[in-house]
Amino acid sequence: MPAPGELTFVAPRGAKRPPRHLADLSPAERREAVAALGEKPFRAKQLSQHYFARYADHPDAWTDIPAAARGRLAGDLLPELMTVVRHASCDDGLTRKTLWRLFDGTLVESVLMRYPDRVTMCISSQAGCGMNCPFCATGQAGLDRNLSTAEIVHQIVEGMRALRDGEVPGGSGEGLDRLSNIVFMGMGEPLANYRRVMDAIRRLTDPAPDGLGLSQRGITVSTVGLVPAIHRFTDEGFKCRLAVSLHAPDDELRDTLVPVNTRWKVREVLDAAWRYSDVSGRRVSIEYALIRDINDQAWRADRLGRLLKGRRAHVNLIPLNPTPGSKWTASRPEDERAFVAGLQAHGVPVTVRDTRGQEIEGACGQLAATAR
Ligand code: SAH
| Nearest atom (ligand 1) to Cα of 355 | 24
Q: What is the pLDDT of residues 348-363, one digit of tens each?
A: 999 998 878 888 888 8
* 184/124 Cα distance (integer angstroms): 6
The protein residue whose alpha carbon is closest to atom 1 in ligand 1 is 189
What is the tens place of the pLDDT at every residue in 246-267? Answer: 999 999 999 999 999 999 999 9
User: What is the 136 CA–ligand 1 centroid distance (Å)?
Assistant: 6
Ligand 1 atom at minimum distance from 244 CA: 8
Q: What is the pLDDT of residue 201?
A: 98
Q: Reduce the DSSP state of residue 169 to 3 states and report it.
A: coil
pLDDT at position 2 over 80: no
- 179 Cβ below 6 A of ligand 1: no
294 lines ligand 1 (CB under 6 A): no
Q: For 145-200, what is each residue's pLDDT tens digit?
A: 999 999 999 999 999 999 999 999 887 656 578 999 999 999 999 999 999 999 99
What is the 142 CA–ligand 1 centroid distance (Å)? 14
> Which of 111, 108, 115, 119 is closest to 88 using CA atoms?
111
How sure is the predictor about 372, in pLDDT bands with cuts at 50, 70 and 90?
Answer: low
Residue nearest to atom 5 of ligand 1 (CA): 185
CA of 76 to the centre of ligand 1 (A): 37
* pLDDT for residue 354: 82
Ligand 1 pocket residue status of 222, Cβ below 6 Å = yes
Residue 223 Cβ inside 6 Å of ligand 1? The answer reads: yes
Tell me: pLDDT of 118 over 50.
yes
Catalytic residue ranges: 109, 364
pLDDT at residue 5 tops 80:
no
Per-residue confidence (pLDDT) for residue 16, from 0 to 100: 83
Distance, CA of 62 to CA of 65 (rounded, Å): 6
Residue 6 confidence (pLDDT): 47
pLDDT value at position 174? Answer: 60
Mapped onto helix, strand or coil, the DSSP state of residue 252 is helix
365 lines ligand 1 (CB under 6 A): yes
Q: Ligand 1 pocket, 109 CB below 6 A?
A: no
Average pLDDT over residues 296-312: 98
Strands (E) in 156-291, as ranges, are: 181-184, 219-223, 241-245, 284-290
Residues in the chain: 372
Query: Can you tell me which atom of ligand 1 is nearest the CA of 243?
Result: 8
Query: Is residue 143 lining ligand 1, measured as CB closer than 6 Å?
Result: no
What spacing in Å lies between the alpha carbon of 163 and ligand 1's midpoint? Answer: 26
pLDDT band at 9 (very low <50, low <70, confident <90, very high): very low
**pTM of the model as a whole:** 0.95
Mean pLDDT of the chain: 93
What confidence tier does 347 reach under pLDDT thresholds 50, 70, 90? very high
Distance CA 65, CA 9 (A): 39
**Diameter of the chain measured on Cα atoms:** 69
Residue 284 or residue 4, greater confidence? 284
H-state helical runs in 128-214: 137-141, 149-164, 194-205
Rounded mean pLDDT, 130-155: 95
Structural domains in the chain, CATH included, are 22-77 (1.10.150.530), 82-360 (3.20.20.70)
